[in-house]
C-alpha cells in the first residue's frame, strides 16, 4: 500500500523517469484486473463454459431424471441432430417464432417511432405527461400484462371485441381462442411495452440538429420529405439498435405463450414458439440431449440474425461523428 | 406624424401576421393533442379495462346492457323484498319501474315513486328494457385473489429476492464498470466488446448446464441459483455505469489519489457519490428485472411454492382465472401496483437510464 501512496500521478506531460511509470501502470493494471474479476469469473462460469457444455450435451442422451454422472448417459453421435429433421414440431414451432418476429420487429420499430415523433412535437400540450403515460405499460410485469390481455381480448367480455362490435364488425376475431389470431394477439401484447424503444428514439430525434430542418425548409421540402431524408438517416444508429434488440427479443420470446397456451402452445399449437418447444423438451420431458440441440438452434439463429444485421446494417447506418 | 402612422400600420400588419400564425399554431396544437389523446386512450384501454373489471362483480360482465364502469343493478325494496329497476318506455316517455313479476309478453311492475298505487301490469318484453345501474365498487375480487393467490407470501419473496439480487448486481457492476472506465488493461476494448456481445446470448443456450450444475450443488429448490449469478455483473448495467463513470472528469480521481487514496477508496469517495443518477437507474432496472423474471424461477424453483416470487406465483392463475375475469384483473392490478408506483416516483431517472443504454453506444 505504501507504494501506492508514493506513486506519482500521471499527467499529460511526459514522465521524467520511465521505470516509475511502468511500475505505476503495472499496479494500475493489476487493480484493473481485480475490478474486472466478478465479470470474468461470471462470464466463464455462467456463460462461456455452459455454452460449451450445451454443445457437449447435444451429443449425449442424458435425461434429467437421473443425476448427471458418467454411466447415466451415452454418447449418441449426431442422433439428436438427425432427430431435429424428423421432429414433427421443430419446423412448425420455428414457424410460429418466425411469424411472431416478422410481424413484431417492423411493428416494434414503426409504432414506437410514430409515438416518439408525436411526443417530440412542439405542438403537443404537456408532452412529459404523454411520455410518462406511454411508458407506463412498459413497467408492467410480463405475467400481469398477459393476464390483462387475456381479459381485454376475451372474445365475449373483452373491451376490444365490444369496441369492434360497436364499430359494426359483426364477427370480431376470437384472439386467444383462434389459432389464426393467437400469435398476433401476443404481438399486440409485446408492442404494448413501447416505452424503451420510444424513449431511445425520442432521444435520437432530439439529437438531430435543427439547422438541418431549417435548411430543408428553405429548400421547400415538406414535412414528409424532411422526415425521410433528414430524420431517418440522422437517427439510423438508434433505429439499428432498436431493430437489433427486437431480433434478440423475438427469438427468445415464449413466456406469455406458455402462460396462455400451456405447454402445448394451444390453441392447436399456434402458440408453440420454438423456445417453448425447447423448454418443454428440457424441463417437462427432461430430455436434455435433444433439448441441447434445440438450444443450439436458438443460439445459432440469434447469432446469424444479429450478425447479418450488423453486416448489412453498418452500411446503412449513418454516424454523424464519422465511423465509430 | 406620418412616420408614426406608418409605424402604426406596420405594427397592425405585424399583429395580423402574428394572429394568423398564432391561429395556425393553435389549430395544430389542438389537432396534434387530439390525436395524441386518442392514441393514448387506445394505449391505456387495457389498463382501464383491468381496473374497471377488478372492481366489478363477474355477473356484470355477462349481463346484457350493463355499463362498462363498475356498477350494480339498482333495486327497490317493496314489502321486504328487493326488486330490480328497469327503464320502461310507456307512452313515449321512459319511466323507472321495479320489476315485481316478469312474464313473457307483459310484466307486473311497481312505480317506486308511488308504491302506494300498488302493482300494475305493463305490456312489453322485460328483456328488452334497460336495467338501471348505479356506480358501485366491489372489493370482493381483491380479497379473494389476495387469499387464493397468497399475495403476502409472493410480495415478501419478490421483495427479498429483488433487494438481495439488486445489492449483488450493484456491487459487481460498479466494480467492473470502474475497471473498464479507469484502468489500463491490455485488451480492454476486446474484453468490452465481448461483454457487450453477451447481450445477444439467449438464456436458453446456457440454462441446461446451469440447471445441471445447480442440481449437483443441491441449489435447485432454493433461491441460490437466482441470487448468486447477480453477484457476477451483467452487460447492460456495466455498460450504463461505465458510460457514466467515463463522463466524470479524471482530475477528480487523480486529486483523490494525490491525497493518497487507493483505487477502491477513490471509487467509494469520488466516483460513487458523483454517479447517483446512474446507480439509481441500475437499481430500478435490476429490481424491475427481478420482479418481472419468470423463466429462471420457474426452472429452478419448480414445485417449491413457498419460495415462488410474484411472477411465477400468479403465472398459474392466468388460465385458472380465465373464467373469473374480475379475479384475474385484481391479480394483475396487485402485481403491477408496486412497479407502477416506483415508476411514477422515479420516472426521470428511469427514462434517463434507458436513454444512456440506447443512444450513447
Q: pLDDT tens-digit profile of B47-60?
A: 999 999 999 988 88
Residue among A24, A145, A148 with most chain B CBs within 10 A, to mutate:
A148
What confidence tier does B96 reach under pLDDT thresholds 50, 70, 90?
A: confident
Report angle CA A95, A97, A103 to the nearest 5 degrees: 100
First to last CA, chain A: 39
Chain A residues lying within 8 Å of B289, measured CB to CB: none
Chain A residues lying within 8 Å of B317, measured CB to CB: 147
The partner residue sitting opposite A46, judged by closest CB among B46, B229, B315, is B229
How confident is the model at residue A69, as a pLDDT? 87
Q: Is A33 on the interface with B (CB under 8 A)?
A: yes
Asked if the Cβ–Cβ distance from B292 to A130 is below 8 Å, we say no
User: How far is B301 from B308, CA to CA, in rounded Å?
Assistant: 7
Chain B residues lying within 8 Å of A139, measured CB to CB: 288, 336, 339-340, 342-343, 350
Closest by alpha carbon to A163, among B48, B141, B131, B319?
A: B48
Report angle CA B19, B20, B25 to the nearest 5 degrees: 95
Asked if the Cβ–Cβ distance from B39 to A68 is below 8 Å, we say no
Q: Is A80 on the interface with B (CB under 8 A)?
A: no
How confident is the model at residue B13, as a pLDDT? 65
Our CA-based measurement puts residue B177 at a distance from the nearest CA of chain A, in whole angstroms, of 8
Q: Is A304 helix (H, G, I), strand (E, B) or coil?
A: helix
Asked if the Cβ–Cβ distance from B43 to A204 is below 8 Å, we say no
The whole-chain average pLDDT of chain B stands at 89
Which residues have a Cβ under 8 Å from the Cβ of B315 and sit 6 or more positions away? Answer: A143, A259, B294, B298
Over the stretch B9-27, which tens digit does the pLDDT of each residue have? 666 666 666 677 888 888 8
Instruction: Classify residue A256 by burial, with Cβ atoms within 10 Å: 0-12, 13-18, 19+.
Output: buried
pLDDT over 70, % of chain B: 94
Return the sign of the alpha-carbon dihedral for residues A218, A222, A223, A227: negative
How confident is the model at residue A5, as a pLDDT? 44
What confidence tier does B1 reach under pLDDT thresholds 50, 70, 90?
A: very low
Which residues have a Cβ under 8 Å from the Cβ of B31 and sit 6 or more positions away? Answer: A123
Closest by alpha carbon to A11, among A21, A3, A19, A2?
A: A21
Q: Is A321 on the interface with B (CB under 8 A)?
A: no
How confident is the model at residue A323, as a pLDDT? 44
- The arithmetic mean of pLDDT across residues B293-305, rounded, is 93
What predicted TM-score, i.e. pTM, was given to this entire model? 0.88
Chain B residues lying within 8 Å of A295, measured CB to CB: 202, 204-205, 207-208
Q: Are A251 and B202 in contact (CB under 8 A)?
A: yes
Q: Counting every residue, how long is chain A?
A: 324
Q: Which residue of B has its CA nearest to A177?
A: B322
Q: Which residue of B has its CA nearest to A279?
A: B204
How confident is the model at residue A324, as a pLDDT? 39
Helix H, strand E, coil C: the string for chain B is CHHHHHHHHHHHHHHHHHHHHHHHHHHHHHHHHHHHHHHHHHHHHHHHHHHHHHCCCHHHHHCCCCCCCCEEECEEEECCEEEEEEEEEECCEEEEEEEEEECCCEEEEECCCCHHHCCEEEECCHHHCEECEEECCCCHHHHHHHHHCCHHHHHHHHHHHHHHHHHHHHHHHHHHHHHHHHCCCCCHHHHHHHHHHHHHCCCHHHHHHHHHHHHHCCCCCCCHHHHHHHHHCCHHHHHHHHHHHHCCCHHHHHHHHHCCCCHHHHHHHHHHHHCHHHHHHHHHHHHHHHHHCCHHHHHHCCCCHHHCCHHHHHHCHHHHHHHCHHHHHHHHHHHHHHHHHHHHHCHHHHHHHHHHHHHCC
Chain A residues lying within 8 Å of B360, measured CB to CB: none
Instruction: Please report which helix (H) or strand (E) contains residue A60, including its range.
Output: none
CATH architecture for residues B142-359: Orthogonal Bundle (1.10)
Chain A residues lying within 8 Å of B318, measured CB to CB: 143, 146-147, 150, 259-260
How confident is the model at residue B110, as a pLDDT? 87
In this model, does residue B34 exceed pLDDT 60? Answer: yes
How confident is the model at residue A157, as a pLDDT? 84
Over the stretch B341-361, which tens digit does the pLDDT of each residue have? 999 998 888 888 888 776 654
B62 preceded by cis ω (within 30°)? no
Q: Which residues pair with B122 in a beta bridge?
A: B107
Asked if the Cβ–Cβ distance from B204 to A252 is below 8 Å, we say yes
How confident is the model at residue B290, as a pLDDT? 95
Chain B residues lying within 8 Å of A46, measured CB to CB: 206, 210, 229, 232
Q: Are B50 and B70 in contact (CB under 8 A)?
A: no
User: How far is A260 from A280, CA to CA, in rounded Å?
Assistant: 15
Q: Which residue of B has its CA nearest to A65?
A: B212
Over the stretch B179-190, which tens digit does the pLDDT of each residue have? 999 999 999 999
User: How far is A191 from A188, CA to CA, in rounded Å?
Assistant: 5
User: How far is A10 from A25, CA to CA, in rounded Å?
Assistant: 9
How confident is the model at residue B84, as a pLDDT? 87
How confident is the model at residue B120, as a pLDDT? 87
Q: Are B181 and B246 in contact (CB under 8 A)?
A: yes
Asked if the Cβ–Cβ distance from A123 to B29 is below 8 Å, we say yes
Chain A residues lying within 8 Å of B200, measured CB to CB: 248, 302-303, 306
Residue among A144, A289, A302 with most chain B CBs within 10 A, to mutate:
A144
Q: Which residues pair with B133 in a beta bridge?
A: B73
Q: What are the angstrom distances between the C-alpha of B61 and each of A199, B54, B56, B141, B328? A: 36, 11, 8, 13, 13
Q: Is A295 on the interface with B (CB under 8 A)?
A: yes
Our CA-based measurement puts residue B230 at a distance from the nearest CA of chain A, in whole angstroms, of 9
Pairing relationship of beta strands B75-78 and B120-123 according to DSSP bridges: unpaired
Our CA-based measurement puts residue A81 at a distance from the nearest CA of chain B, in whole angstroms, of 16
First to last CA, chain B: 64
Average pLDDT, consecutive stretches of 10 residues, N- to C-terminus, chain A (324 residues): 44 49 86 96 97 96 90 92 95 97 96 95 91 94 95 90 91 94 97 92 91 91 92 91 92 96 93 97 95 97 92 78 47
Asked if the Cβ–Cβ distance from A38 to B231 is below 8 Å, we say yes
In this model, does residue B337 exceed pLDDT 90? Answer: yes
Domain ranges for chain B, please list them.
Answer: 17-68, 75-131, 142-359
Chain B residues lying within 8 Å of A159, measured CB to CB: 45-46, 49, 68
How confident is the model at residue B15, as a pLDDT? 66
Pairing relationship of beta strands B120-123 and B130-131 according to DSSP bridges: unpaired
In this model, does residue B247 exceed pLDDT 50? Answer: yes
ipTM > 0.90? no
Chains A & B: contacts with CB separation below 8 Å: 295
Chain A residues lying within 8 Å of B31, measured CB to CB: 123
Amino acid at each position: 500500500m505504501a507504494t501506492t501512496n508514493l506513486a506519482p500521478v500521471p499527467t499529460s506531460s511526459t514522465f521524467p523517469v520511465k521505470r516509475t511509470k511502468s511500475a505505476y501502470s503495472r499496479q494500475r493494471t493489476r487493480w484493473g484486473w481485480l475490478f474486472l474479476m466478478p465479470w470474468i469469473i461470471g462470464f466463464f462460469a455462467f456463460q462461456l463454459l455452459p455454452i460449451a457444455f450445451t454443445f457437449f450435451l447435444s451429443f449425449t442422451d442424458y435425461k434429467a431424471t437421473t443425476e448427471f454422472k458418467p454411466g447415466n448417459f451415452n454418447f449418441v453421435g449426431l442422433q439428436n441432430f438427425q432427430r431435429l429433421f424428423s421432429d414433427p414440431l421443430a419446423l412448425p414451432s420455428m414457424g410460429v417464432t418466425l411469424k411472431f418476429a416478422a410481424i413484431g420487429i417492423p411493428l416494434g420499430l414503426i409504432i414506437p417511432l410514430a409515438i416518439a415523433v408525436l411526443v417530440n412535437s412542439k405542438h403537443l400540450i404537456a408532452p412529459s405527461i404523454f411520455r410518462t403515460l406511454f411508458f407506463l405499460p412498459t413497467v408492467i410485469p410480463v405475467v400481469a400484462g398477459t393476464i390483462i390481455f387475456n381479459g381485454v381480448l376475451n372474445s365475449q367480455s373483452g373491451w376490444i371485441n365490444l369496441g369492434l362490435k360497436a364499430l359494426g364488425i359483426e364477427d370480431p376475431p376470437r384472439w386467444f381462442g383462434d389459432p389464426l389470431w393467437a400469435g398476433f394477439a401476443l404481438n399486440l401484447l409485446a408492442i404494448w411495452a413501447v416505452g424503451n424503444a420510444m424513449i431511445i428514439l425520442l432521444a435520437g430525434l432530439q439529437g438531430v440538429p435543427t439547422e438541418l430542418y431549417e435548411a430543408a425548409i428553405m429548400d421547400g421540402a415538406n414535412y414528409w420529405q424532411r422526415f425521410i431524408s433528414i430524420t431517418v438517416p440522422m437517427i439510423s444508429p438508434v433505429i439499428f439498435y432498436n431493430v437489433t434488440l427486437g431480433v434478440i427479443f423475438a427469438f427468445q420470446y415464449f413466456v406469455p405463450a406458455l402462460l396462455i397456451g400451456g405447454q402445448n402452445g394451444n390453441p392447436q399449437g399456434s402458440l408453440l414458439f420454438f423456445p417453448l418447444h425447447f423448454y418443454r423438451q428440457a424441463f417437462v420431458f427432461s430430455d436434455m440431449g435433444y433439448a441441447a440441440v434445440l438450444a443450439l438452434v436458438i443460439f445459432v439463429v440469434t447469432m446469424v440474425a444479429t450478425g447479418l444485421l450488423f453486416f448489412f446494417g453498418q452500411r446503412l447506418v449513418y454516424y454523424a461523428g464519422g465511423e465509430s | 406624424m406620418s412616420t408614426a402612422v406608418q409605424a402604426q400600420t406596420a405594427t397592425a400588419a405585424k399583429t395580423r401576421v402574428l394572429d394568423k400564425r398564432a391561429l395556425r399554431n393553435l389549430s395544430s396544437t389542438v389537432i396534434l393533442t387530439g390525436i395524441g389523446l386518442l392514441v393514448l386512450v387506445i394505449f391505456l384501454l387495457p389498463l382501464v379495462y383491468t381496473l374497471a373489471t377488478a372492481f366489478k362483480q363477474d355477473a356484470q360482465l355477462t349481463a346484457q346492457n350493463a355499463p362498462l364502469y363498475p356498477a350494480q343493478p339498482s333495486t327497490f325494496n317493496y314489502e321486504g323484498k328487493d326488486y330490480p329497476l328497469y327503464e320502461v318506455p310507456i307512452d313515449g316517455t321512459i319511466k323507472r319501474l321495479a320489476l315485481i313479476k316478469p312474464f313473457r309478453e307483459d310484466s307486473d311492475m311497481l312505480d317506486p315513486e308511488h308504491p302506494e298505487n300498488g302493482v300494475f301490469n305493463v305490456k312489453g318484453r322485460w328483456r328488452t328494457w334497460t336495467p338501471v345501474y348505479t356506480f358501485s365498487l366491489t372489493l370482493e375480487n381483491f380479497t379473494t385473489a389476495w387469499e387464493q393467490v397468497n399475495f403476502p407470501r409472493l410480495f415478501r419473496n419478490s421483495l427479498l429476492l429483488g433487494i438481495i439480487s439488486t445489492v449483488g448486481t450493484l456491487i459487481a457492476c460498479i466494480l467492473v464498470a470502474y475497471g473498464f472506465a479507469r484502468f489500463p488493461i491490455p485488451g480492454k476494448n476486446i474484453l468490452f466488446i465481448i461483454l457487450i456481445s453477451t447481450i445477444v446470448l439467449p438464456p436458453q443456450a446456457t440454462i441446461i448446464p446451469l440447471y445441471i450444475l445447480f442440481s449437483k450443488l443441491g441449489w435447485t429448490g432454493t433461491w441460490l441459483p437466482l441470487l448468486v449469478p447477480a453477484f457476477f455483473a451483467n452487460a447492460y448495467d456495466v455498460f450504463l455505469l461505465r458510460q457514466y463513470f467515463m463522463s466524470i472528469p479524471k482530475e477528480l480521481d487523480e486529486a483523490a489519489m494525490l491525497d493518497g487514496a487507493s483505487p477502491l477508496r477513490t471509487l467509494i469517495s469520488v466516483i460513487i457519490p458523483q454517479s447517483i443518477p446512474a446507480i439509481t437507474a441500475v437499481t430500478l432496472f435490476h429490481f424491475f428485472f427481478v420482479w418481472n423474471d419468470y423463466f429462471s424461477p420457474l426452472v429452478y424453483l419448480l414445485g417449491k411454492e413457498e419460495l415462488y416470487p410474484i411472477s411465477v406465483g400468479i403465472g398459474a392463475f392466468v388460465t385458472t382465472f380465465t373464467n373469473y375475469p374480475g379475479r384475474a384483473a385484481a391479480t394483475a392490478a396487485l402485481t403491477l401496483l408496486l412497479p407502477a408506483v416506483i415508476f411514477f416516483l422515479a420516472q426521470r431517472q428511469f427514462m434517463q437510464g434507458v436513454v444512456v443504454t440506447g443512444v450513447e453506444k
